[in-house]
Structure formats: C-alpha cells, structure tokens
Structure 1
Amino acid sequence: MKNIFSIILFVIFCSLNAQDFKAYQFYTQKGKAIKPEKLTKELAQYDIVFFGENHNNSINHWLQLKITEALYQQKNGQITLGAEMFERDNQSQLNDYLNGKFDAKTLKDSARLWSNYATDYKPLVDFAKAKKLSFIATNVPRRYASQTAKEGLESLNKLPAKDKSYIAQLPIKVTLETPGYPEMKKMMGDHADEMKVMNFISAQAIKDATMAESIVKNLQSGKTFIHYNGNYHSKEFGGIYWYIKQKNPNLKMAVISVFESEDAELKVPEKDYIPTDFNLIIPEDMTKTY
C-alpha cells in the first residue's frame, strides 16, 4: 500500500513539473531566443539602451532591475540610469535622495512621483543610491506637455528662460516621419481637427525630444546609459531613439521592446509584432501593479 501511495505521489509530482510556466522570454530582432546572460553581454557594447515597459506589468519592472544589476556587473559599474518617470525640474530632489540628504518620505513629498513608484521604480532608484550611480530625470515637466496639447508648440516660445531649460531646445521638429506618430494620428480618426491632432502629437514629441536631449547631455565615454520608458517612446525605433538619431547618428543604441502574449510558450507573436534589437515577451495575464 505504501509503495502504491509513493507511486501516486511521484506521478502527481511529474505531472506538475511537466507543465512549464514561463514568465518571460527574450528574443533577438531575428527571432532567436536569447538568455539574460547573453543579452547583458550584448547590451554592454552599446552607448544607450532603451528598456521599454508596460507601466503596470510586474515582471517587466523586475526584469528591468535584474538586467540593470547584471549590466552593472558586466560594465564594472560604468553605467548611468535615467527614466521617463522623473521630470527635469525634479532632478535636484532626486539627487538629494541619492546623496542621502532626503529620506524616502521627503522625496515623496517634494517630487512628482508616479503612483506606482514604490513598487516599480523605487528599487531602481535605491540600486542607484546603493551603488552611487547617477540617475537622470529625463522627461519634460508634464505641465508643458499639457500646454502643448492645448495651445501648440509655439506657445512654449513665450515661457521664461528658466522654464525653457526644462524643455528640449526650441524649436522642436515634429514630423509624421517619426515611427509611431502616424499611429497616433490614426487613433484620433479621419475627422479630427488637424490642428488638434498636431498639437496632440507635438505633446508627445516634446516628451521624446526632451528625453533624447537629457540622455545625450548626460552621456559619458565608456559608460552605458540605460533608460526606462514606456514602450511607445522607443517602439519601432521611434520616439526618443528617433530624436537622438537625428542629432547623433553615430551613437550605438539598443532598444528592448515589450510584447504581451496569451501563448503559454511565449513564442514570437504572429500578429502586431514589429521587433527591435531585443524583444521581451511576457504573459498577458502577468500580475499588474495597478
């Protein structure tokens, strides 16, 4: 009887192990699976790495942290961090936290942190703090993006010089040649007012252009700048990537794009899949942080 019970337990155990629950899979642009260790070695060869994200996906954020930790080791500490989630006019508050002048509560009270900061971005900031790394607040203050959406890019010319210092140098080129922007135009429909459409796209453009400028200004020879941003800001080599490419085509940049999939094996998607240098496939039903 004891032997039969043992056999039953063994069968159950084997059945459980036979089910492979994959949490993520990285692929190259050519569709070849790549392990995190190999990916990290590849990333170390670039000047800039864009790590796209779905803002509310827990595994996406965890991988950003783990890849950053691995890249730090690979580069012997020669990395700089930066993120869309921090705005230029909050750089001093962020620096004070990194330098130990602010505690976590003071940072929260003095800077405009995203609602999911504690779960999704604080681990990255704390890693930078522990390793004494620079963490750059790259994004334009949201009030200027909002102003652009309502009043257009030209309205920014009237701002005081200090305000303009938080925005990429004006004038900012806005064109539908930028990957992703035609998609935004299409989203607004064929009957949308043309001026409103361009103002909406321009609001996206000042974010992309400002983040691009922030990254380039903070590049250091021999260091890899890893930037965390919403997937849309670098998908299809558009957005931030596109603006940097216009300014300095010689920089070596890599884009990690993210795609959610219902496929349990996390194979390369057959639909709506335009790969970049490296591509992260994650389960569609992965735990969301909000």
Structure 2
Amino acid sequence: MKNGIIIALLMIFSSVRSQSFKAYQFYDKKGKAVKTDKLVKELADYDIILFGELHNNSIIHWLQLKVTQALYEKKNGQIILGAEMFERDNQAQLSQYLNGHIESKNLKDSVRLWNNYATDYQPLVDFAKNKKLDFIATNVPRRYASQTAKEGIQSLNALSDKDKSYIARLPVNVTLDTPGYPEMKAMMGDHAEGTKVMNFISAQAIKDATMAESILKNRKPGKTFIHYNGNYHSKEYGGIYWYIKQKNPELKIAVISVFESDDPELDIPEKDYFPTEFNLVVPSDMIKTF
C-alpha cells in the first residue's frame, strides 16, 4: 500500500514537471524557431528595425528592452532608439531628460506620456539616458491626427509652418495600396460614408508617414535604428515600413511582428499569420499592463 502511494505521488510529480510553460517564441520568415542570440546577431545587420508590440503586453516590453540591450553590446553602442509613444513636439523635453538637464518628474509634467510609461517605456528611455543614446520622438502630435480624422487630411494645409514641422511633409500619399489600410476600410463596414472612411484611414496614414519620416531624418549610416511601435503600424509590411520604402527602397529593414496564441507550445498560428523577417508568438493569457 505504501509503495503504491509513493508510485502514485511520483507519477503526479512527474506529470507536473513535464508541463511546458513558454512565455515567448521567435520565428524567422521561413517558420524556423530562432533563439535570441541568433536573433540579435541577424538584427545587427539591418539599418532599421520596426519592433511591433501589443501595447499592454508585459513580455513584449521586457523583450524590447532585452533585445535592445543585447543589440547595444553587439553593435558596440551604434544604435539609435525611437518610439511611437513620443510625439515630435515633445522632442526637446525628451532630449533634455536624456542629457540630464531635467529630472524624471519634470519630464512627466511636460510631456504627453502614455499611462503605462513607467512600467513599459521608461526602462527603454532610461537605458538610452544611461548609455547616452539618441531617443527620437517620432509620432505626429495626436491633435493633428484627430483633426485629420474629423476634417480630412487637406485641413492640415492651413496649419502654420511651425505646426507643419511636426508632421510628415505634405502632401502625404494616402492609398489603399498600403497593406493594412484595406483592412481598416473593411472594419468600418459597408454602410460607412466614403469621406468618413478615408478620413479615418488618413489619420492612420499621417501617423505612419510622420514616423517613417522621423526615422529617415534621424538615422545614421552604420547605426541601427530601433523603432518601437504598435504591431498594426508595421505588420504585413504596411504602415511605417511602406512609407519608408517609398522614400528609400534601398534600406534594409527588419519587421518584428507579434502574434498571440492559445497554444502552450507557441507554435506558428494557423490563422491570420503573415510572417515578416522575425515573428514573435506570445501567450494570449500573458499578464497585461492595463
């Protein structure tokens, strides 16, 4: 009887130990699993990295930091950081913080920071500060994206020269040839007014085009520009990627796309999977930051 109980307990313990708990898995474009050391080695050869994210996913933010730190070592510090989460008209304050001229509290008081800044983006900003790296505020000020959604992209022509300096050079080409934009149109439904649909897409385009222009203006030969943005802004080679390639098709750009999965082994999803250079699969039940 005693031996039977011991054997039963060992079987239960063995079963528990055999369970797999994976937090993430990278794949290359061909579907081969990639270890992080190889990922970093390959990323070092790119001019630009568009690191997609799900804004509230804690493991992705942690991976952004770890990959950035590893790439810094691999490239001997020859990297530049930039992010959707900072808007162009806040660059001066962000640079003052990076240079040690203002404290963290002053930055929070003077910059439109996202609610999850402290947990998800401050570690990247502070890494840039400690390593004396450039960190570029790439996004359009949200007021201009909102104006575009309400009044159309043509309304931006009436802005002052100073205001226009925070936006991609006008006119911005808005077309449904851009990957992702037809999907946005479909999301609006068949009954949505044509003008309203195009204004909505134009608001997305002004963000994508501005971030692309910001990257192009601030990149430097020999350095890798790492840009952190919502997955939708670069998935399927649309958005930021598309606008960069319109201006400079010779640049070598790596897109890291993100996919959630219910599969505990984090195999490649069977549906809605469009691979880019690198593809990050994370558990759908990963702890969210908001």
Partner of 2:192: 192
Displacement of 1:14: 3.4
Partner of 1:176: 176
Partner of 1:224: 224
Structure 2 letter corresponding to 1:84:
E
Partner of 1:54: 54
Distance 1:123 1:9 in 2: 44
Partner of 2:147: 147
2:98 is the counterpart of 1:85: no
Match runs of 1:197-276 below 5 Å: 197-276=197-276
Partner of 2:136: 136
Displacement of 1:8: 7.2
Displacement of 1:2: 11
Displacement of 1:231: 0.1
Partner of 1:108: 108
CA-to-partner distance for each residue in 1:95-145, whole Å, 9 max, x for gaps? 111111111111000000000000000000011011110000000000000
Distance 2:7 2:263 in 1: 32
What's the secondary structure of 1:282's corresponding residue? strand
Distance 1:281 1:269 in 2: 8
- Select between 12-21 and 114-123 the one with higher mean Cα deviation: 12-21
2:163 is the counterpart of 1:163: yes
Distance 2:263 2:90 in 1: 41
Change in CA separation of 1:218 and 1:2 when aligned onto 2, cut-off 3 Å: farther
What's the secondary structure of 1:257's corresponding residue? strand
Displacement of 1:10: 5.7
Structure 1 letter corresponding to 2:38:
K
Partner of 2:73: 73
Partner of 1:284: 284
What's the secondary structure of 1:76's corresponding residue? coil
CA-to-partner distance for each residue in 1:190-220, whole Å, 9 max, x for gaps? 1111011100000000000000000000011
Distance 2:18 2:91 in 1: 49
Change in CA separation of 1:7 and 1:76 when aligned onto 2, cut-off 3 Å: farther
Could you tell me the TM-score, scaled by structure 1's length? 0.97
Instruction: Give unpaired runs (5+ residues) of structure 1.
Output: none
Partner of 2:35: 35
Percent identity over the alignment is 76
Partner of 1:95: 95
Displacement of 1:15: 3.0
CA-to-partner distance for each residue in 1:64-118, whole Å, 9 max, x for gaps? 0000011101101000000000000000110111111111111000000000000
Instruction: Give unpaired runs (5+ residues) of structure 2.
Output: none
What's the secondary structure of 2:17's corresponding residue? helix
Displacement of 1:20: 1.0
Structure 1 letter corresponding to 2:236:
E
Distance 2:130 2:6 in 1: 49
Displacement of 1:9: 6.9
- Select between 5-14 and 271-280 the one with higher mean Cα deviation: 5-14
Displacement of 1:221: 1.0
Distance 1:73 1:166 in 2: 32
Distance 1:71 1:6 in 2: 50
Distance 1:78 1:6 in 2: 58
Distance 2:75 2:120 in 1: 24
Match runs of 1:8-27 below 5 Å: 13-27=13-27
Distance 2:161 2:117 in 1: 30
RMSD across aligned C-alpha pairs, in angstroms? 1.6
Displacement of 1:16: 2.8
What's the secondary structure of 1:86's corresponding residue? strand
Structure 1 letter corresponding to 2:133:
L
Structure 1 letter corresponding to 2:124:
L
Distance 1:257 1:37 in 2: 18
